Amino acid sequence: MKLDLKKLALRDVNSKLQSFDKSSKEKDFTIINPEGCHALCVGLVHAISVTINGHVGYYCAGMNQSAHITINGNVSTGVGENMMSGIVHVKGNASQSAGATAHGGLLIIDGNASSRCGISMKGVDIVVKGSVGHMSAFMAQSGTLLVCGDAGDALGDSLYETEIFVKGKVKSLGVDCIEKKIKPKHIKKIIELLKKSKIKNIKPEQFKRYGSARKLYNFNIDNVSEY
């Protein structure tokens, strides 16, 4: 089904997708003429497929649950914010805070992601085929961030238990984030994410692993300057 945002109001489009009838045989939707609108495809809770042809604004696919959303363009701040499950696939670049506070599912970004990618992520898997900006995975709590390009300053600042894998260069590590040894279980996870993201010609051994040094879990006067 084709939904034209030049003919339909944003609220009507979101309402139609949110109130999807499970008995319907029509589970594939295409949205045209988004023209950078904000909060498109938020709060979807059904296993439907939505393709957006064009660029979108803030918080696209926020709070997604079960839906498979593909954006054939660039996205602004907070794509996939607080998503619970499903797949969000950005074919272009993403602005800051991609996947913020997301609890589950898979977020794929074919291009680059700006600053704070994966900020406070809580279980989501994020794959960036390009590079990420500064303070990515800031205060990230769980889940996986896999970056096929480079990472900016303060990667993993104040990190908890999120796993970070970067193939390229890391400009600097944030507070309490250190490089760690890659074990067989991590290789298995990398292979899984590469396969799901349809990334070929990259070997899992090319990535470096970063994680929490676990020095900030409990207050320690010797580390007071780091808090």
Q: pLDDT, tens digit, for every residue of 72-120?
A: 999 999 999 999 999 999 999 999 999 999 999 999 999 999 999 999 9
Residue 60: give its domain's CATH number: 2.160.20.60
Domains identified in the chain, total number: 1
Tell me what percent of the chain is helix, strand and coil, each rounded to the nearest 5. Answer: 15, 25, 60
By residue range, what is the domain housing residue 170? 2-226
Supply the pLDDT for residue 14: 96
Strand residues in 54-185 grouped as ranges (E): 68-72, 87-90, 106-109, 122-128, 142-147, 163-166, 177-180
Q: Which residues have CB under 8 Å from 116's CB, separation 6+?
A: 96, 97, 100, 133, 134, 135, 136, 138
What tokens does 103 get? 């609890």
Supply the pLDDT for residue 226: 60
pLDDT digits (tens, 9 = 90+) for 206-219: 999 999 998 876 66
Q: How confident is the model at residue 225 (pLDDT cuts 50, 70, 90)?
A: low
221 by DSSP, 3-state: which?
Answer: helix
Supply the pLDDT for residue 219: 60
Q: How confident is the model at residue 126 (pLDDT cuts 50, 70, 90)?
A: very high
